[in-house]
Chains A and B, each alone.
Chain A
């Protein structure tokens, strides 16, 4: 039996579900509580909606829905029955990281605590998690119970529930823990006790931590999300600009054509990285401005392709007929032009996607990224530069991630190009 893409997807999702079974139960409970709240106290419920809540809810719903969808649409989607290749496996993994980021990370990407213990840990180093005693408050209303559940589910960037320690000793009624050469005594009454023993868990940082004690693996996973999201957004922007301008230039010809050509040449003659940096530095550096700028700076090759193809198509009989029938320009573009030029456009877009991801990482590397709320691979590499002599893992892992993503994008582009050129339809 050959291993198909469908098996791989289901395997990965099953692993995620098994690893997060407790969290998922809590999450479903949170959703139910939210539904209850929505019907009892609509205003309060709406106030409680924020990005991380939506994120967690969507992840929870999708993780059960996608396996079902895969099983249902198994027959229709031929791509699911393709043999698993390296590229498709990587793409699946990257997409999983993007969609299920909240479930695949072990902690919030910005989580930091007890720097003395967690700073610059090597990969696979383990620290102890000592839980402190919490005052238990009974939820007084539906709103309270929802909020408590939400706090339980959503991984936050800070927590007072526990401390990171290197080792723990019990002596009489006290507990002595060490935090990097420093011994601290703490009364047993301040510690969470479970089955007569203090509650201690060990936590392993698989890829180590950075200079602020943040888990690198979690940051990498959230970085995937940022990279893929910015890439997708920018490619869509480029697609629309390139297609529309290319169509206008090719279709109308004459003055508009030469004007648009000069305009494109102007963009090509710009040192494009400077233009991007210029706009981001002077105007704004949020995710959306980065998407817009990267999109605006990448449409030129698409314009050239579309224009050339439209000029070729313009003289074809079916196009002239369609025009004479009286199709609107929009219909001409979507019904007659797009299906005919889709293959070079898709290839171009996939290569563009790789370039955009690279450009985003380069921008973050130069300190012009989307801000500190969103971890980005480029920014991680830049931070690692200062610690290059003591913490190689801060550079190597994000670099590797970026490398694999770009390699996959390029390979995918080549594969699609090959497929289209050999005349075999997907």
Chain B
């Protein structure tokens, strides 16, 4: 499968989707003006991936900031991975946050409430 490797900007995140190396990661900031346009290729990639996913997918979210429109798209991404879980494959979300940013931890907990995917919370050090 094709690898997605998007470099982040001041209002869009870094995105790595690499099935071969088992690397799935979104990091940085997400506050684009048009979330649909930015995330469309990512959604398409995940749709294709879910047709033949790995037995175990570990998805790292290392976001330092996202706006509300992005929060909706992140849920849509997670819902796609939930379907993979429903199909009997393993998916783990690793939700990274800085210790003093409770809001980011809370955001992860809210997603974990909605989707049936196990979440691990990891404190970012730097």
A pairs with B: no
Task: Spell out A's residues near B (CB within 8 Å).
Answer: none
Task: Spell out B's residues near A (CB within 8 Å).
Answer: none
